[in-house]
Amino acid sequence: MKKRTRSLIAVILTMALVLAIGIPGLAAGIGIFPNDDNRYTIQPVKHYDTYTVLGDSITAGVNCQDYYRYYNADGTYVSSGSVDYNLIAKAAWWDRGDSRRVEGTYPALVEDMVTANKVNHFSRIGYRTDELRILLDDNYYGDELTPTLLEFLGETYSVDINGWIENRTAFQQAVADADLLTLDIGSNDVLMTVWFKAIGMLYGENASLGTIANVMGQVAQSAQDPTNMMSAVLQLMNSAVGATKTLAELAQAMLEAEIDFRTNCKAITDRIYELNPDVDLVVVGVYNGAKEIRVSKDIDLQAGKLGDAAFMAINNYIANLCPNHTKYKYVDVWNITLSGAPSLLDMIGDLSLVGTLMTVDHPNETGHAEIAKEIRAVLPKVDSKTEVTPKTTKEDTKAVEAKAEDTKAAKAEEPAKRWVKQADDGNWYCYLGDEIERSYTGIAQNEYGWWRIVNGKVDFKANSIYQNEFGWWKCTNGKVTFNENGIYQNRYGWWKCTNSKVTFQETGIFQNKYGKWYCKNSKVDFKKFGKVTYDGKTYTVVGGKAF
C-alpha cells in the first residue's frame, strides 16, 4: 500500500512535469454556448485585411492532424495525427507548422471568417510571455530562465538568444501591420516555471542545460522508456525533501509565475498598442489542460483540478485587472472541450501512458472550432447594409423584448434626465439633458436596457460588477442582463449575484464555473476554513472553496 501511495504521488508530480514538457499553449474555446445569447448568432463579421497571430503551441496547432506534415523528396507530404518517428526518419523534412496555416485550427478558421487578405503566423511552441516580450520590446531580455529555455528551444528553432533577438523586426512589423490581432499566451509561464523548478529539486539548482535536456528528453520519449524519469521522481519523493515540501515548493513556483505574468501581460499589451494604436486586439484566456485527469475510471475525482488556481488567477488578470483590459476583447476559454486523458491509476499501471499527456492537453479540431466561435462572438458584425457591433438595435431589441418585465422595472427606476442614446458618430453615450455627461461613470439606461458607462460612453467590453445609485450590478458585454445568478468578480472580490444584483445579504454555499464557494454577505470569504452546513448539506471549506 505504501509503495502504491508513493507511485500515485510520483505520477501527480510527473503529470505536472509532462504538462510542461508538452509545452502546451493552453488556450482554446469555451465549449458551452448559450442558445439565448445573441453574441453567438451566426452573422458575417467585419472584414480585416491583415490578421496577425501571436501565441504558443495551441495557435501553432499541436494535436491537430494537419500540424504534422512529413514532406517527401518530390514535394508531396502526408499528415499524421501525432508525431511519427518512423515518418520523420523517412521524410525529407518535417514541418512543425508553427509559422503556417494549419487546417482545422482557430487561426485558420478566423482567417476565413474575417476574409483576411494576409495572415502573419507567429506561433512558437514553448513561448512564455517573457519570450514574446523579448520580441516586442527592444529593451527587454527576459528573466533568469530565458537563456536556458531559449537554448533548449534552440534545438527546435536553431537559434540562441541572439538569434531570437534578430526576430524582433519581423514580430514588431507583424503587429504594426495588423488590423486584427489574436494574442494567446500565458500557460507556459506557469508550466515551464514548475518544470524547471522540479528539475532543480531533482538535480540541484545548478543543473546544467545538458542535464535538463536529458531529463526533458526522457519525458518526451516516455512512450518508449519512462523508467528513468519516474525513477528520478520516486527518488525525490522518497528523499529527505519529502512529498509535502516538494508540492509546496512547486505551488510557490506557480504563484511566482502568475505574478510575473501580470508584469509581462501589461508590457506586451502596452507595446502592441504602442506599435499599432488602432488594432482590434482579442486576448484569449487560458484553461487547465490537466482538468480531464481523474484518479481512476471508477472514481470521478478530477485530480487535474489541483492546478486550477494559478490559471484562474491569470484569467482574472487578463479579463479584469490588466490596465489595458478595457481596450481589447477578452475571450473566456475555461471550459474548452478536450479529447480525454488517462487516469492516474492507469498511468501507474502503464507508464507509457504518461507520454500521451503531451497532446491531450491541447485541443483538437473540435476544440479549435469552439475557440473560433468564441472569437466570432466578440468581433464586430456586419449585415447586408452596414457594419454593426454587438450593441446594435436588432439583436438588443430581441433580447429586451424577451425580458420585457425587467426593462419595465428598469424604466420605473430610471433617473429623470439621464439617458443612453447613439450619437451621430455611431457611438453610444450617456446624455444628461441634451449634452453628453462625460463626467459620469456608472450604469445608465435606455429603451434597450441598462448599460455600463465610463466617462460618458457605453463600454461594451465591460464584464464585471459595477455600481450605480440603485446598487451593484453584473454586466456582460457592457449590459445588465438581470438574469445572472452566480459568483462573479470585480476589483473588490468575488460576489454572489441574484438576477445580476449583489444583495450583500446572502450567506451560504454558492456556485460558479470554477466550483462551489462559501459566501458571507454575498462575498466569497477566501479565509474561511472548516465545516459549513447549508441547505441541508455539510461542506468542507478550504480557503473559501467548498467540497
Which pLDDT tens digit goes with each residue over 473-493?
999 999 998 889 999 988 888
More confident residue, 1 or 301: 301
Cell of 381: 458584425
Do 476 and 491 lie in one domain? The reply is no
Report for 39-53, 64-78, 437-451, 473-487: range of highest mean pLDDT: 473-487
Supply the Cα-derived Rg of the chain in whole angstroms: 25
Cα 61 from Cα 364, distance rounded (Å): 8
Q: Which of 211, 195, 192 is nearest to 203 (CA)?
A: 211
Do 326 and 260 lie in one domain? The reply is yes
Residue 494 Cα to chain centre, angstroms:
19
User: In the 8-state DSSP scheme, what is residue 81?
Assistant: S
* Backbone φ and ψ of 197, nearest 5°: -65, -45
Instruction: Point out the least confidently predicted range of 206-215, 268-277, 343-352.
Output: 206-215
Do 362 and 418 lie in one domain? The reply is no
Rounded (10°) angle between helices 243-275 and 2-21: 10
Cβ–Cβ under 8 Å, residues 440 and 415: no
Tell me what the mean pLDDT of segment 203-215 comes to.
50
Residue 342: predicted pLDDT: 65
Q: Starting from the edge strand earliest in sequence, which strands make up the sheet with 180-184, in order? A: 118-123, 50-55, 180-184, 280-284, 329-331
Decide which of 461, 483, 505 is a domain's last residue.
483
At 78, is the pLDDT very low, low, confident or very high (cuts 50, 70, 90)? confident
Decide which of 382, 411, 440 is a domain's last residue.
382
**Which residues contact residue 505 at a Cβ distance below 8 angstroms, ignoring those fewer than 6 apart?**
521, 522
Do 415 and 317 lie in one domain? The reply is no
Amino acid, single-letter form, for residue 141: Y
**For residue 52, is it within any domain?**
yes
Cα 234 from Cα 229, distance rounded (Å): 9
Do 192 and 59 lie in one domain? The reply is yes
CATH of the domain at 33: 3.40.50.1110
- Provide the number of structural domains found in the chain: 3
**For residue 77, is it within any domain?**
no
**For residue 80, is it within any domain?**
no
Amino acid, single-letter form, for residue 153: L
Tell me what the mean pLDDT of segment 299-325 comes to.
78
Do 157 and 292 lie in one domain? The reply is yes
Instruction: Point out the least confidently predicted range of 79-83, 118-122, 381-385, 476-480.
Output: 381-385
Q: Which domain holds residue 140?
A: 2-64+102-382
Coil, strand or helix: which one is 113?
A: helix
**For residue 194, is it within any domain?**
yes
pLDDT tens track for 211-260: 544 554 444 444 334 444 444 444 444 444 444 555 566 666 777 788 88
Cell of 277: 494604436
Cα 245 from Cα 82, distance rounded (Å): 36
Do 111 and 224 lie in one domain? The reply is yes
Coil, strand or helix: which one is 431?
A: strand
**Which residues contact residue 444 at a Cβ distance below 8 angstroms, ignoring those fewer than 6 apart?**
415, 418, 419, 420, 430, 450, 451, 453, 468
Do 403 and 370 lie in one domain? The reply is no
pTM reported for the whole predicted model = 0.59
Calculate the average pLDDT of the chain. Answer: 74
Cell of 344: 492516474
Tell me what the mean pLDDT of segment 494-507 comes to.
92
Q: Which run of H or E residues covers position 173?
A: helix 168-177
Tell me what the mean pLDDT of segment 523-544 comes to.
89
Does the pLDDT at position 355 exceed 60? no
**Which residues contact residue 383 at a Cβ distance below 8 angstroms, ignoring those fewer than 6 apart?**
43, 44
pLDDT tens track for 141-182: 888 788 777 766 654 444 556 666 777 888 999 999 999 999
Cβ–Cβ under 8 Å, residues 453 and 436: no
Cα 194 from Cα 55, distance rounded (Å): 20
Do 173 and 296 lie in one domain? The reply is yes
Residue 278: predicted pLDDT: 94
pLDDT tens track for 266-287: 999 999 999 999 999 999 999 8
**For residue 527, is it within any domain?**
yes
Residue 66: predicted pLDDT: 83
Cell of 464: 464585471
pLDDT tens track for 398-433: 444 444 445 444 444 444 468 899 988 889 999 988
Does the pLDDT at position 34 exceed 70? no
**For residue 75, is it within any domain?**
no
Amino acid, single-letter form, for residue 124: R
Residue 344: predicted pLDDT: 59
Cell of 443: 450604469
Residue 251: predicted pLDDT: 65
Instruction: Point out the least confidently predicted range of 38-42, 54-58, 238-242.
Output: 238-242
Cell of 62: 499541436
Does the pLDDT at position 185 exceed 50? yes
Decide which of 349, 382, 415 is a domain's last residue.
382
Cell of 418: 439621464
Do 399 and 364 lie in one domain? The reply is no
Cα 478 from Cα 390, distance rounded (Å): 10
**Which residues contact residue 544 at a Cβ distance below 8 angstroms, ignoring those fewer than 6 apart?**
517, 518, 524, 525, 526, 527, 528
Residue 346: predicted pLDDT: 67
Cα 243 from Cα 516, distance rounded (Å): 28
Do 454 and 409 lie in one domain? The reply is yes
Cell of 536: 441541508
**What is the secondary structure of 303-354 as a DSSP string?**
GGGGGHHHHHHHHHIIIIISTTTTTSEEE--TT--------HHHHHH-GGGG
Do 397 and 372 lie in one domain? The reply is no
At 101, is the pLDDT very low, low, confident or very high (cuts 50, 70, 90)? confident
Cβ–Cβ under 8 Å, residues 437 and 431: yes
Instruction: Point out the least confidently predicted range of 35-49, 396-410, 497-511.
Output: 396-410
Cα 386 from Cα 393, distance rounded (Å): 13
At 495, is the pLDDT very low, low, confident or very high (cuts 50, 70, 90)? very high
β pairing state of 180-184 and 280-284: parallel
pLDDT tens track for 384-393: 443 333 333 3
**For residue 85, is it within any domain?**
no
Cell of 88: 520523420
CA distances for 431 relative to 76, 312, 507, angstroms: 63, 37, 38
Residue 300: predicted pLDDT: 58
**Which residues contact residue 108 at a Cβ distance below 8 angstroms, ignoring those fewer than 6 apart?**
101, 102
**For residue 84, is it within any domain?**
no
